[in-house]
């Protein structure tokens, strides 16, 4: 299965995978309006052996078959880590 990956110019680290190149008509209107314009990033073959950095390739394939697109959002921010002070105070 082929996928065409586009980066949102409005939302940092947000990507849309499409089953057909430049087929933005499959996106819900509200999603398209909030993320467009898009920049083409990559054409990739999503084989069962393919591994992707931030998303499960099997889930991407399933979404492409069912919806014609897959939305990859940025990772959730890490929780702040409280480092104890050497002097024992709780500032």
Cβ neighbors of 34 (< 8 A, separation 6 or more) are 10, 11
Q: How far apart are CA 8 and CA 50, in angstroms?
A: 23
pLDDT for 50 beyond 90: no
Write down the pLDDT at residue 81.
76
Q: How far apart are CA 39 and CA 36, in angstroms?
A: 9
Fold of the domain built from segment(s) 2-72: NE1680-like fold (3.10.510)
What is the model's pTM?
0.80
pLDDT for 46 beyond 80: yes
Enumerate the domain spans of the chain.
2-72
Q: Which residue has the tokens 């089953």?
A: 19
The beta-strand segments (E) located in 9-89 are 15-18, 38-45, 69-72
Percent of the residues in the chain that have a pLDDT greater than 70, as a whole number: 97
Write down the pLDDT at residue 86.
78
Confidence of residue 91 (pLDDT cuts 50, 70, 90): low
């Amino acid at each position: 299965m082929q996928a065409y990956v586009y980066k949102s110019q409005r939302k940092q680290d947000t990507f849309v995978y499409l089953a057909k190149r430049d087929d933005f008509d499959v996106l819900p209107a509200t999603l398209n309006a909030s993320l467009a314009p898009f920049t083409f990033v990559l054409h990739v073959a999503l084989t069962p052996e393919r591994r992707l950095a931030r998303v499960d390739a099997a889930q991407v394939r399933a979404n492409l078959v069912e919806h014609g697109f897959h939305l990859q959002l940025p990772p959730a921010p890490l929780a702040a880590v409280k480092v104890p002070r050497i002097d024992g105070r709780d500032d």
